[in-house]
Amino acid sequence: MLHFSGVFSLFIHLDLPASGVFLKSGGIITPYNCQEIRIQDCDTINIEKMRKGEGMKKIRNVVFLLGISVILAACSESENAGPPVGEQEEKGYDILETTASAAEGPQFLEHANGSIPSIYEETAGHQELLTHIPCYCGCGESAGHDHAFDCFIDHVNEDGTVVWNNHGMKCGVCLEIAARAVDMKNDGYSDKEIRETIDKAYIDSGMEPTSTPKPQA
pLDDT tens for the chain, 217 residues long, are 333 344 333 333 334 344 444 444 444 444 444 444 444 444 444 444 445 555 556 556 644 555 555 455 444 444 567 999 999 999 999 999 999 999 999 999 999 999 999 999 999 999 999 999 999 999 999 999 999 999 999 999 999 999 999 999 999 999 999 999 999 999 999 999 999 999 999 999 999 999 999 999 7
Q: Quote the pLDDT of residue 15.
A: 43
Say what the pLDDT of residue 64 is. 54
Structure confidence at residue 54 (pLDDT): 56
**Distance in angstroms (rounded) separating the CA atoms of residues 133 and 139:** 13
- Residue 18 CB contacts under 8 Å (≥ 6 apart), including other chains: 31
Domain ranges of the chain: 8-81, 88-202
pLDDT at 201: 98
